[in-house]
Structure 1
Amino acid sequence: MAKMQTKSLNTPDEVRSLPKTKVEVINLGELTLMKLTFEPGWRWSEHVKPTVGTDSCEVPHFNYGLSGRLHVKMDDGTESEIGAGDAQLLPPGMMPG
């Protein structure tokens, strides 16, 4: 049976760095929550693709915008943009930035 858990991104379990990206991670049971902070000029194709080796992200995401804007293009050509207060569910096959 699952139990209640509380954690704060103010004290993440892990901090990861990619070019122009800071990733703060907390683990809650089987759920992983990440806060991503992108520097101006960040692009998936330039700053993530060389590290992961795929044309687009192969992991589904639930995004929530805290500030700024994030443009996403799917492998099928559909596009979307989120900003502060917007929520977005993305299947695998997206390329943000």
Structure 2
Amino acid sequence: MKNCSKSTNQIERELGYSRNALHNYKNGTEPSGNRLIELAEYFHVSFKFLIEKTDDPNESKPSELFEQLNERQKFEMLKLCQDWSDKLLSDTYCLN
């Protein structure tokens, strides 16, 4: 965010985050997987860069990796995500 011309509060508002969410992430609170992806896409960097697993901010982003898949692979990935999502909702809300 050092190279960003927007304030932290402005970014939080644009993303719909609570006030100080980004400050908390900077100081050790871990964002959820969804938030990590949102932030990576917002800043146009890889999620690995955000969690300091790489020094390369342009390492493949999830959306770029998805675009590299063929149609069958994309379908399989979407099906896995749907199954995972259904299981998560079922476990969370006991919707059996």
What band does the TM-score fall into relative to the shorter chain?
Answer: under 0.3
Name which structure has the greater RCO, CA cutoff 8 Å, separation 6+.
1
By percentage of residues, which structure has more strand? 1
By percentage of residues, which structure has more helix? 2
Give TM-score scaled by structure 2 length: 0.25
Give TM-score scaled by structure 1 length: 0.25
